[in-house]
Amino acid sequence: MAGITNIIFVICHLKGYFPATTMRQPKLICLLSLLTMTLLTQCDSPKETDDSSESKEFYTMEDFQAVKKYDAHVHLWKEFDTLFLDQALADNFALVNVSVYSSPTRSPESQDNFSLQLLDKYPKDLAFISTFSLEGFNESDWTEKTLSYLQAAIDKGAVGVKVWKNIGLELKNKDDEFVMIDDKAFEPIVKILIDNNIPLLGHLGEPKNTWLPIEEMTVKGDRDYFSENPKYHMYLHPEYPDYDAQMAARDRLLEINPNLNFVGAHLGSLEWSVDELAKRLDKYPNMSVDLAERISHLQHQAVTNWLGVHDFLVKYQDRIIYGTDLRTSASDITGTTSDEIKNHAHEVWLRHWRFFVTDDEMEVPKVTRKFKGMKLPSSVVDKIYRTNAEKWFPRLNQKPI
């Protein structure tokens, strides 16, 4: 540093800025040293830029439409449902459309084909998750047909494959026994997913509330759904495998297949306790969860355990994917006009954003008491809303939003 300072002094002297006798003046030497340090710092440091897109420590409600986001769990099954997609574009969302085999009347082919039609129109704003039929499960050619269909779906661009709660709660084998997800019949399907690095999205089991009487259920969404769908209200069906059996089968699947990329839909059916969900995430590093139709359960827990929910979201910020389960058949959609459908989606997305980015005191339709928002750092919000979807569904990286 002293050498550089002397060089600057000599140059200044030759230019006539001050005589050589000032060489020994301490104040000037100190001034020159400071000037030298400033010049070196400016040379070594990147230039400051006025970048308005630079990440904030925390987002606000005003950032909602500016931030790129995924809703990684929606159901668009018919033309009217595309109103959700129109609103998504306005709210800066890309959507992941999920096919689900719930009955023979809505085949995997028809759902996947509808997604492919939408992909032609919205190639950067939509992706799809395929599924497979359980028709003919006990027939000898079911495995071959299923693998053929899944490979074709993967080749067409499916970013994942979904299994539904009918595995464990409806499907039976030749001996009239309930078939669980860890059954050997599903091993070839798991293998094709692992080989192609395709995640399995698993809606396995149901909310723990369904094993309770309606009046004891913790959130309004469950009370409404199981009142309208008594065949899935397990409190009325003690002959079915219970909640613990459903979770144990899913856990065995993960234990047997540590290389399977598994996304537990609906908080992995462990929505009732962030502590219990944390135990599974600690045990199974290949497991993540989406939030679809279960954010109200986090809000319910936040009424009495705000810090526990907040710390869970921060600690497992790399394992949580935003999704809503939006569909026009949902019981909480009261309107049927285009504007009403789009407004419903916008209100749901905006309400969730408020929960994650602010610490406002909130009231929502599905939770009976007030709670406070999480006010998560923007870096955590970005993961939940965007980068975790790209991490756990790797094919999304081929068409980044």
pLDDT for the residue 101: 97
Higher pLDDT, 48 or 270: 270
pLDDT mean over 129-147: 98
* Phi/psi of residue 298, nearest 5 degrees: -65, -40
123 to 79, 85, 91, 115, 116: CA distances (angstroms): 17, 12, 17, 10, 9
Q: List pLDDT tens digits, range 25-38.
A: 444 443 444 444 44
* Count of residues making up the chain: 401
Q: Sign (positive/negative) of CA torsion 22, 27, 32, 33? A: positive
pLDDT for the residue 146: 98
Cα-to-chain-centroid distance, residue 95: 11
Q: Does residue 195 contact residue 161 with C-beta atoms inside 8 Å?
A: no
354 to 52, 272, 358: CA distances (angstroms): 22, 21, 5
Give the pair of three-digit tokens for residue 52: 């308005």
Coil, strand or helix at 161: strand
pLDDT for the residue 212: 97
In the chain, ranges of CATH 3.20.20.140 domains: 63-398
pLDDT mean over 112-139: 96
| Confidence tier at 331 by pLDDT (50, 70, 90) | low
Read off the pTM.
0.86
Higher pLDDT, 80 or 272: 272
Amino acid 281 reads: L
Q: List pLDDT tens digits, range 176-212.
A: 999 999 999 999 999 999 999 999 999 999 999 999 9
| Cα atoms in the Cβ-side hemisphere of radius 13 Å centred on 200 | 28
pLDDT for the residue 15: 41
Asked if the model's pLDDT at residue 225 lies above 70, the reply is: yes
pLDDT mean over 74-80: 89
- Burial class of residue 4, CB neighbours in 10 A (0-12, 13-18, 19+): middle
Q: List pLDDT tens digits, range 332-351.
A: 676 678 898 899 999 999 99
Q: List pLDDT tens digits, range 368-396.
A: 999 999 999 999 999 999 999 999 999 99
Asked if the model's pLDDT at residue 319 lies above 80, the reply is: yes
* DSSP states of 262-331: EEEHHHHT-TT-HHHHHHHHHH-TTEEEE-TTTHHHHHHHHHHHHHHHHHHHHHTTTSEE----B-TT-T
Look up the CATH architecture of domain 63-398. Answer: Alpha-Beta Barrel (3.20)
Asked if the model's pLDDT at residue 309 lies above 90, the reply is: yes
Amino acid 369 reads: R
Q: Sign (positive/negative) of CA torsion 55, 58, 62, 64? A: positive
